[in-house]
Structure 1
């Protein structure tokens, strides 16, 4: 089995897990063209997993279904996703070909966002990014923080497969928040090298995010102190308030 990131649009990744016989699991195909191109090279899509309803994650589904009418399409309970062969919610288990995934409800970016965990991989859509997290278009800070807490509790060697290549810009913000974090400095150096060679910065082991991503380190004294200094929060502010202030800071940040 191999993992492959198909590039789409400006910075999206369409993730594929490919079995030795060419059968493939496709995650969040916002554009059909990269998948169809990979199929011309031998990829055989067997199932599609959708994390949320945004068009850059589902826009290619209809074309893929037209090409492969028997394709399994697994989506959250979300009427804004028009085409699915199965709807899933928190705690569901998805079995497709040789793959088995558990479904986690992770609202925040959208209210019906889900993540898929299995085979040592986390497909988290736009909830968690390397060194960052998604914007809260529909959820509350408390919901988003709870979702990130769920992901942070997964095994540390889980490979995090995010929906976008935002890592370099996220690193610039993380370094402002947590400038004395030696692991973060090393990660940033790796990122610069990878992007200079036009290589993806993903997937990334969850352990790296636990030590470097400020949105997973809300309880770290350095992160809390930085947020308090920037936003004027009291030292004993609630975790959700610290997270909300950190997200606001990121929303307005320009490197």
Structure 2
């Protein structure tokens, strides 16, 4: 199996665009379609032709270019069955536990409600890749627009159970703000303090903070660390459930 080539680039004000290209077949997938012009520029830069769009959820900043790209390339749009009616141009609806083939690479669909009710992530186990969109960010997680804290905690726990070396591509460049918030929740975490410094330097130099890994997030992302005794003590929730601790962290981030 030929490894995928990946192209990461910025869209809109803070969205990430990602292209996934199989050199053997020429198949090229866009993870979501935030904005047509940067996606076209990335395709032209690499000399690739778009064949698929893998949609994670219905928010406009993730589907805005669906119809334009489909009209231009005839790309197949794959998206969450639970948001089928809200995904422009959808051709194939997928749900939790589904597996489909992308140029000979297995793609597993993970339903991760919380940010939206039907949000899905795409896990490519043979490639060690996860496209988490607005469920899991570097040092953060998505706002709960349609789901409950308990749902989002379950979704994040599902992602945290993936192999630690899984490379995670996420939907937005929020990492600097996330790092500053994380330090208010987990101030004694040496790995987090070191990472926050690296992030400050990367962003000052104009570098992206994607991808991350599952293992790095488990060590430094407070939204995955609800069981940590130090975090529980700081929040005054020593005997709460993990979901309750997560809910408090999410509420504090909403006010941050």
TM-score normalised by structure 1 residue count: 0.94
Aligned twin of 2:200: 192
Structure-2 change in CA distance of 1:39 and 1:3 (3 Å):
closer
1:26-84: per-residue Cα shift (whole Å, max 9, x none)? 10111111111122231221211000000000000111001112x12100011111311
Aligned twin of 1:29: 33
Aligned twin of 1:212: 220
Aligned twin of 2:141: 133
Q: Retained in 2: the 8 A contact 1:30–1:55?
A: yes
Taking the aligned partners of 2:172 and 2:243, their CA distance within structure 1 comes to: 25
Taking the aligned partners of 1:219 and 1:63, their CA distance within structure 2 comes to: 45
Deviates more, 1:186-195 or 1:162-171: 186-195
Q: 2:18 aligns with which of 15, 20, 24?
A: 15
Taking the aligned partners of 1:34 and 1:51, their CA distance within structure 2 comes to: 19
Q: 1:90 aligns with which of 69, 86, 96?
A: 96
The 5-angstrom pairing of residues 86-125 of structure 1 reads: 86-118=92-124, 119-125=127-133
Taking the aligned partners of 1:58 and 1:252, their CA distance within structure 2 comes to: 28
Aligned twin of 2:245: 242
Gap runs ≥5 in structure 1:
none
Aligned twin of 2:209: 201
Taking the aligned partners of 2:223 and 2:58, their CA distance within structure 1 comes to: 23
Tell me the CA shift for residue 100 of structure 1. 2.1
Count of aligned pairs: 247
Q: Retained in 2: the 8 A contact 1:183–1:212?
A: yes
Moved over 4 A (4+): none
Q: Retained in 2: the 8 A contact 1:28–1:48?
A: yes
Aligned twin of 1:59: 64
The 5-angstrom pairing of residues 150-189 of structure 1 reads: 150-189=158-197
Gap runs ≥5 in structure 2:
none
Taking the aligned partners of 1:132 and 1:38, their CA distance within structure 2 comes to: 27
Deviates more, 1:209-218 or 1:40-49: 40-49
Q: Retained in 2: the 8 A contact 1:46–1:97?
A: no
Aligned twin of 1:143: 151
Taking the aligned partners of 1:31 and 1:146, their CA distance within structure 2 comes to: 30
Aligned-residue CA RMSD (Å): 1.2
TM-score normalised by structure 2 residue count: 0.93
